[in-house]
Amino acid sequence: MADTRQHKIHEQKLNELVKIMPHFVAEYVDDKRDSRSPSTLLNYVHDYKLFFEWLVEKNIANCKDIKDIELSVLENLKLDQAKRFFKDLQRRDIQINKDETKKPEKVTINRKISALRSLFHYLTTQTEKDDGEPYFYRNVMLKVEVNKVKETLGARANKISRNIFHNNEDVSFLNYIKNDYYNELPPKSRSKFYFERDKERDFAILSLFLGSGIRVNELSNLRLRDLDFEENQISVIRKGGKFDTIAVVPESMSDLKKYLLIRSERYKATSEDYDYVFVTKVHNTASPLSNRAIESLVKKYTKAYKSNKSMSPHKLRHTYATNLMDETNDIHLLMRQLGHTSTTTAALYSNPEQEKAKLASKQLGERRKNV
């Protein structure tokens, strides 16, 4: 499994979090390191921490520190207690802003069920005591029902379609950043200063998302050696640590080349093959841009363009995917470009039935114009 910068950061956080976990969680993490990414394991252990804290709070575990929770607590956990944990999660309020809260989505609860199922499965089938038996046999998590999110393919595709650029709006967005954004910033402001410093870099990032459909983690981990200007393609590390090479819109590669012309001088960056492409300047030296920093700048520019609504890098990826399907109608090419393994996922970007329904509704409406 390839080590991305994000994975290394998550591995450090995982190692720290495991220190406060019961011994059997440490064993689980050690066993799964070679088959699960540090990011996945970190999310799982965060879920375990939440679960163990709940066990202590409800006096189901007779201890004060989650590290002292014994295996017998999990072995003897009642079904109604396990269900109560997930119900408590579902009913809690999550703060969106100072005036608004929301309930967790079903998919979030399902992920926590999956995380705990993985731990319980390990403890009941993949461990071994001195007598050759697993730590315990009773797996209460198998009795907890996963509430599947009921949503048709058309509904999912329509949800994606509502939150992306349409009808060459992506081109208009890039033109806005290039020609108009600077003039809308307050005069002599810090935002104006930083935009002047970072405009080539930021424009190259936006252009690359819209010209390749890569994920934010794939972009942040790009090295100089991954760029092929002759063939207009880049090499990326996909989910699961798989290496891949994908085609990029030539204009996006041109925008990338313009950024590279100022990269060394502007950010004090070196030009070694293994250096990260997208950097910022920290204490007068180059430092790789984090995923969060990239997400923030995408939201900043898209909100400025849309006035009241920001977009994420993933929405730019969806925009690229939809444009590619419109141009080629080739679902296998789309799967190749996005790194998908399922035609069902790829089909979200091609929804002809929805378009037919819109056209039919419009034609039906034409009959009423003279009423």
Average pLDDT for consecutive 10-residue bins of the chain (371 residues)? 74 96 97 91 97 97 96 97 95 80 86 96 96 96 83 57 82 95 92 94 97 94 96 90 91 97 95 96 92 95 88 92 86 87 69 51 59 51
Cα–Cα distance for residue pair 239/339, rounded to 1 Å: 8
Cβ neighbours around 3 below 10 Å, total: 13
Length of the chain: 371
- Listed by start position, the domains of the chain span 5-150, 154-359
Instruction: Assess whether 166 carries a catalytic annotation.
Output: no
Quote the crossing angle between the two packed helices 190-212 and 291-306, to the nearest 10°: 100
In 3D, which of 297, 296, 279, 338 has the Cα closest to residue 5? Answer: 279
Instruction: Assess whether 239 carries a catalytic annotation.
Output: yes
- Candidate list 305, 317, 318, 320, residue with the active-site label: 317
The pTM assigned to this predicted structure is 0.74
Quick one: pLDDT at residue 155?
55
Buried b (16+ CB within 10 A) or exposed e, 101-124: eeeeeeeebeebbebbebbbebbb
Q: What is the architecture, at CATH level 2, of domain 154-359?
A: Orthogonal Bundle (1.10)
Cα–Cα distance for residue pair 108/50, rounded to 1 Å: 13
What tokens were used for 348?
A: 């979200």
Task: Identify whether the C-beta of residue 82 lies closer than 8 Å to the C-beta of residue 143.
Answer: yes
- Candidate list 197, 223, 239, 299, residue with the active-site label: 239
- Candidate list 112, 215, 263, 318, residue with the active-site label: 215
Task: Identify whether the C-beta of residue 145 lies closer than 8 Å to the C-beta of residue 83.
Answer: no
- Candidate list 238, 263, 318, 340, residue with the active-site label: 340
Instruction: Assess whether 102 carries a catalytic annotation.
Output: no
Instruction: Assess whether 292 carries a catalytic annotation.
Output: no
The gap between the terminal CA atoms of the chain, to the nearest Å, is 66
Instruction: Assess whether 121 carries a catalytic annotation.
Output: no
What tokens were used for 65?
A: 């520190």
Cα–Cα distance for residue pair 1/242, rounded to 1 Å: 7
Cα–Cα distance for residue pair 33/84, rounded to 1 Å: 30
Instruction: Assess whether 317 carries a catalytic annotation.
Output: yes
Quote the crossing angle between the two packed helices 190-212 and 169-179, to the nearest 10°: 150
Buried b (16+ CB within 10 A) or exposed e, 153-164: eeebbeebbeeb
Quick one: pLDDT at residue 241?
79
**H or E segment to which residue 346 belongs:** helix 343-346
In 3D, which of 197, 222, 198 has the Cα closest to residue 209? Answer: 222
- Candidate list 121, 268, 299, 314, residue with the active-site label: 314
